[in-house]
Amino acid sequence: MLRKLAPITSVSCFGKEGALRGREFGDQLHTFSCLSVLHNAVVAWNMVHIEPVVEQLRAEGQRCDDELLSLTTPLLRRHLNPYGRFELDMETRLDLSPNGPW
C-alpha cells in the first residue's frame, strides 16, 4: 500500500522531496498524520469529481465499463499543484507606494 501512496507523498511533501526527515518518533508521527489527512482529502476530492466526468463521458457516447472503472484508483495526482496558481495581469501596474492598497 505504501508504494501506491508514494507518488502522492512526493507531491504533497514536495519540500522534503517526499522523504521522512525527522529522527524523533513524535516528528515522524506528526508527518505521517498530516500525510494521512492530505491523502484522505485527495481521495475524497477525486471520488466526488470522478463520477460527474464519467457521467459526462457516457452522455457523449464514450464507453466507460463499470468493470474497468472498478480497477481504477482514487489516488490520482496529476491535478495536484504544490506551487499554487498565480494569475497575473500584465496590463495593470501594482501600487508599490508606502500607502499602497495593503
Is residue 56 one of the residues assigned to a domain?
A: yes
pLDDT one digit per residue (tens) for the chain, 102 residues: 445 555 565 555 555 555 666 778 888 788 788 888 888 888 888 888 888 989 999 999 999 889 988 888 887 777 777 777 777 788 887 777 777 665
Q: Letter for the amino acid at 19?
A: A
Is residue 9 one of the residues assigned to a domain?
A: yes
Contact 56, 66 (CB under 8 A): no
Range of the domain at 63: 2-69
The predicted pLDDT at position 12 comes to: 56
The predicted pLDDT at position 102 comes to: 56
Distance CA 45, CA 78 (A): 13
How many domains is the chain built from? 1
The predicted pLDDT at position 95 comes to: 74
Triad 8, 72, 32: Cα angle to 5°? 25
The predicted pLDDT at position 2 comes to: 45
Q: How far is CA 89 from CA 12, 41, 72, 82, 94, in A?
A: 28, 31, 39, 22, 10
Is residue 97 one of the residues assigned to a domain?
A: no
